């Protein structure tokens, strides 16, 4: 089996066929660059979403703790009365 990649043109501009694997390969570098930019933007957005989700969970925990503190304070006030 040869490791040489031999590409032949197809009917579609910007697409070539690898003769060894029969795979269709895009040779359009502008589309590849645009795809990589979209992927980078998507990853950045996902990181921001994950960060926001973490902050929301932390705030929910703080709300719960504040509720417990309020309940304890109310119990202390009721005992003193």
Distance, CA of 18 to CA of 6 (rounded, Å):
6
Please give the model's pTM, rounded to 2 decimal places.
0.58
Better-scored residue on pLDDT, 44 or 10: 44
Beta strands across the sheet bearing 24-26: 7-9, 15-18, 24-26
What's the pLDDT band for 3 if we cut at 50, 70, 90?
low
The yes-or-no verdict on residue 2 having pLDDT over 60 is no
The yes-or-no verdict on residue 8 having pLDDT over 70 is yes
Tens of pLDDT, residue by residue over 45-58, are: 999 999 999 999 99
């Amino acid at each position: 089996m040869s490791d040489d990649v031999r590409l032949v043109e197809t009917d579609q501009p910007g697409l070539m066929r690898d003769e060894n694997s029969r795979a269709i390969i895009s040779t359009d570098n502008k589309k590849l660059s645009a795809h990589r930019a979209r992927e980078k933007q998507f990853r950045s957005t996902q990181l921001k979403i994950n960060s926001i989700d973490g902050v929301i969970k932390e705030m929910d925990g703080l709300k719960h703790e504040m509720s417990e503190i309020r309940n304890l304070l109310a119990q202390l006030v009721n005992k003193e009365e």
